Structure 1
């Protein structure tokens, strides 16, 4: 397993790519990405993790801020190039960017969504996943099992 944190390059790395989309909330959400990396450490996979080592929550979210633009472009490229996307909506988080990414990549056929009870827009997420046949799971452990299976099968959709 190779884990690549934003905004590091990931060109030329061998193996399927897994993008970790989901709750970060300016660094306030749980560090669920570390759990995923630990659980998948035995696989030959490139994990694209949008959590930066140094993120400044006060950064202007503007085209005039090169660090912000770099982050957003890194994430979009990672989502586009990923073979599998694991999206986790943590209870108690807002995850507005993840909701945007669900809309952008929900029809990609490579998304697995974890949305436990306690996520403030769980109903919306459930309806979107149901409408577009996006596999969804009630716990991160369930989602991890499905993603592991998809990666071992050569990516693509998993069965529910």
Structure 2
């Protein structure tokens, strides 16, 4: 797998996944790397692109404004990556708020790309459950279950695109 981090240029690929979900300004567990490690074991996923929004050079002092070049670049990178991705993995950690992830759920609920895990304890789990049920979005109870489902979907996509 090849991981693309912001602000790296997003390149077209045969199969790609965006890792949406809890980051909490960099304070949450690095579940993105856990997913990448699990997926890297799969030989037939070596050409899959992973769009990981967890920016190594994030600066918490950046003003969250459209006029701030770095902030605007980050948000646009994430939106471009989600639009380009074949699959959007959305993980909502139970002890987080994740308002941007909630917005991403709304933006891409009709895309057919989302696969979701909303852990017990998430402050708006009921809302997430209802949106997923209403929109027919596959939902899992744990990050491990979500990762397994996403890896399975990526394998199928690689197989289809290889033909």
In which range does the TM-score fall when normalised by the shorter chain? over 0.9
| Greater percentage in helix | 2
- Could you tell me the TM-score, scaled by structure 1's length? 0.93
Aligned partner (choices 56, 67, 71) of residue 68 of structure 1:
71
Query: What is the 5 A alignment of 1:1-160?
Result: 1-12=1-12, 14-41=13-40, 42=42, 43-44=45-46, 45-154=48-157
The runs of 5 or more residues in structure 1 that have no matched partner are 156-160
State how far apart, in whole Å, the 2-side matches of 1:25 and 1:58 are.
14
Shift, 1:104, TM fit: 0.2
State how far apart, in whole Å, the 1-side matches of 2:60 and 2:91 are.
21
Aligned length: 154
SS in 2 for 1:100: helix
State how far apart, in whole Å, the 2-side matches of 1:153 and 1:74 are.
26
Shift, 1:72, TM fit: 0.4
Q: Could you list the runs of 4 or more consecutive aligned residues of structure 1 that deviate by over 3 angstroms after TM superposition?
A: none
Bigger RCO (CA 8 Å, 6+ sep):
2
State how far apart, in whole Å, the 1-side matches of 2:105 and 2:73 are.
20
- Could you tell me the TM-score, scaled by structure 2's length? 0.91
The runs of 5 or more residues in structure 2 that have no matched partner are 159-163
